[in-house]
Structure 1
Amino acid sequence: MGHSTAQFTLVGPDRPVTAVVGEDIMLPCHLAPRMSAENMEMTWFRSKLFPFVHRYSDGKDQYGEQMPEYQRRTQLLKGGLTQGNVTLKILHVRVSDEGRYSCFVQDGNSFEEAILELQVSASGSAPHLSIEDYQDGGIRVVCRSPGWYPEPEVIWRDLSGQAFPSASHTNSREANGLYETQTSAIIMENSSRNLSCLVRNTRLSQKKESTL
């Protein structure tokens, strides 16, 4: 396939686009210099050109070989095509949407491609604290919180805000790809029981905290 030099380049974001699970996200991409893309062909894809995430040619969306997981979840923002915008909107972001995307535009024999990275995040619910059992002269307290992505950071703190060591820590994947975190701490009988469990999404710098 002869690749003649295109009369344009494609510009995508130079840093990862961050999306929150369940929300809609725009993957920006535009032609430079700005020119109409209405009569061009464009394909948004993941690792290979087919099946695709979204395809537009002959002036309309083509759904024939769309990846099943993106069906009814993609929109090419048509209003921007005359200004060279080929931005894709993804609806109801899922964990599995995370990764690299290619924006590929073809005009006759010439084509250009821009690569961008989508990072996905989710902040779970406020941690649930429970006293599980008595062990070794102390009480085992467990902090559980589902719905996080990526794996969250968990910190026990005492009333003065000092970090308190955890006894065990596990993260498990839920069916939707999010993480449930479970962390325990041992409080000795003679110490004050006021511990708080702080769970933090490092990517969004959001945190949820509960106190016993």
Structure 2
Amino acid sequence: MRALARYAAKAILWFVGLTLILVIAFKWLPVPVTATMLMDENGFTKDWESLGHIDRNLVAAVIAAEDSRFCQHFGFDAEAIEQAMRENMEAAANGGRIRGGSTISQQTAKNVFLWQGGGFLRKGLEAWFTFWIEAVWGKRRIMEVYLNVAETGIGTYGAEAGAQRYFGHSAARLSADEASRMAAALPSPKKRSVKAPRGWLAAHGNRIQRRIGIVRRDGLDACVYN
């Protein structure tokens, strides 16, 4: 039992140490590749860009679409999780769309360090890495990494690769309409059209575009730029 306890203690120490090494390294270094990219049967295209070379419209759009309280929480938004649970219960009963309650920080932790899919183990590790990136990286770096590793299309990762694919120009000059369409597709980029959205998806993109003004007016992106 003592030997088992020693092995368990060593394993925990190694895990914590490796966690801190990776988190500290990626505070400064571009993330070279993720498990999601490596497991993508379509291969992957990516092009890392600093946040200064990504249009502010996209930052506002993803906050409006994914996590309006990004600048207020420390990685976890209990209010959004409770709301998502209520809406998903209604959706399950009525055959509607299921939505997630993960913050941008949680999505970044999952995309960088873990794999896609559910399960208690993955969710527990996601919470662990979310805590550390909030503590070590800060909001600006979290947003920068998120916009570089998020899947933006089939075999396409990051804002720059997505902008080039869909609009033929750099992510540094995305219009509010273009940014909104990219943000609307983020939850399911393999299925949602960016170039020619229709029906609900087109309306959702229009809602996000209107919310960009609210994000700017209320300073909901202030933590990224101050």
Higher-RCO chain (CA-CA 8 Å, sequence separation at least 6): 2
Quickly name the TM-score band, shorter chain normalised: under 0.3
> Which of structures 1 and 2 has the bigger CA Rg?
1
The structure whose residues are more often helix, as a share, is 2
Q: TM-score, normalised by structure 1?
A: 0.23
Q: TM-score, normalised by structure 2?
A: 0.22
